Structure 1
Amino acid sequence: MNATRSVAWALWRARWFIWWRREARALAVVEGALARHPDEPQLLAFRAHLLAELQRPREALGVLDRLVHVAPHQAAHWFNRGYLQEQLGCLDAAEASFRQALAHDEKLDRAWYGLGLVLIRLGRLDEALQALRRNTELQPMSPYAWYQMARIHADRAESDEAARIIAHLKGFEPRIAAQLERETGLRTARTA
């Protein structure tokens, strides 16, 4: 069996085990294939995903470190690395990974959102607002970045801007708008 077929077969088998909720067995299949094809990006990405699903984020991060070395131009790999780094509290590293993802694909909306969350946690709110605005340009109907922007404005006592965002959210996510009104104490006009 050639390398492409061997990798495809291993991935198919791993997905089959996942379908039957046997993630540990799927991981064993992927690790066996990696023994034969140690630098195969699809296998490395799949292994990282499985390790994260199995609540082994540090191991997953190690695999992603290898993956971005093997396939450095894939924005999704950098994003996944940044996501895990952020989850593990490695905020400076997460920022760098999200920025690297965006260097490879500036339209990767989830990387803009991840960068915004990291910048919030780092206390760099002006930069966070810029990243979150870029996310909303790419995903205008996704409420998550709108929510974070409203929170920043409300926390800064920029009530007019927070209220504007809440009013905007009422047009497509009224429950999140209502949640923000409760959390911030701001009330906006009801829309029809």
Structure 2
Amino acid sequence: MGFCSALGRPQWSRALLEQTLTSKPDDLYALSTLAHAQSSQGAWADARETLLRCAAIAPDAASTWFNLGYACERLERFAEAERCFRKATVCAPELDRAWYGLALALIAQDRLAEAAEVLKVNTGLQPMSPYGWYQLARVQADLGALDEAAATIAHLRQFEPKVARQLERETGLCA
């Protein structure tokens, strides 16, 4: 499908995809491609349904659970997103993005203490990414753990000073 789209023929892509799914309705690659196209078009409910089919076919595919969690998050189905991201972390404990998604789903449910623990796993897996550290400092500040938040900001300043300054402005803390 991607090749046809790259040639400027998305209608060919859709036709090939539909033909594949007609003859092989459980073709995981075709279903994943369809889910990607649906999400690219903002059709999150359709993408969710397609990804549920993918998960039924390949229940141990971490990428499917991650993508399903992301679709659920976009639909503000945070409890379902949490379940999907948790499943992704079980299937692939090294998948740092799944831990990050899980933390965001927990934050959306105002479960900050749990989110802090999950963000510690995420930052351990991806120590140079500012995203997990940013969220960790925000959660720590929201929990009233101001010393911990300041220490996280100080750590972040070592490799992302702009993000650290932003956190200082947002939290009122100085690292």
TM-score (norm 2): 0.94
Partner residue of 1:85 out of 63, 72, 86: 72
Would you say 1:114 and 2:101 are equivalent positions?
yes
Distance 1:142 1:56 in 2: 29
Would you say 1:130 and 2:107 are equivalent positions?
no
Match of 1:163? 150
Query: How far off its partner does 1:32 sit?
Result: 2.1
Would you say 1:56 and 2:43 are equivalent positions?
yes
Query: How far off its partner does 1:19 sit?
Result: 2.2
Distance 2:43 2:10 in 1: 12
Distance 1:23 1:157 in 2: 51
Match of 1:30? 17
Cα deviation per residue 1:49-88 (whole Å; 9 max; x = unaligned)? 0010011111111100100001111111011001110110
Query: How far off its partner does 1:29 sit?
Result: 2.4
Distance 2:145 2:127 in 1: 22
**Percent identity of the aligned residues?**
45
Structure 2 counterpart of 1:131, one-letter code: V
SS in 2 for 1:157: coil
Match of 1:139? 126
Return closer, same or farther for 1:21/1:133 CA change in 2, 3 Å cut-off. Answer: farther
Distance 1:180 1:187 in 2: 9
Would you say 1:101 and 2:95 are equivalent positions?
no
Aligned 8 A contact 2:113 2:143 in 1: no
Higher relative contact order at CA 8 Å, sep ≥6: structure 1 or structure 2? 2
Larger Rg over CA atoms: 1
Distance 1:60 1:161 in 2: 39
Q: Which runs of 4+ in 1 moved over 4 A?
A: 20-25
Would you say 1:65 and 2:52 are equivalent positions?
yes
In the alignment, structure 2 segments of 5+ residues that lack a partner are none
Length, aligned pairs only = 175
Query: How far off its partner does 1:157 sit?
Result: 2.8
TM-score (norm 1): 0.86
Query: How far off its partner does 1:21 sit?
Result: 5.6
Q: CA RMSD in A?
A: 1.4
Cα deviation per residue 1:76-104 (whole Å; 9 max; x = unaligned)? 10110011101101111111111111121
Distance 2:41 2:12 in 1: 11
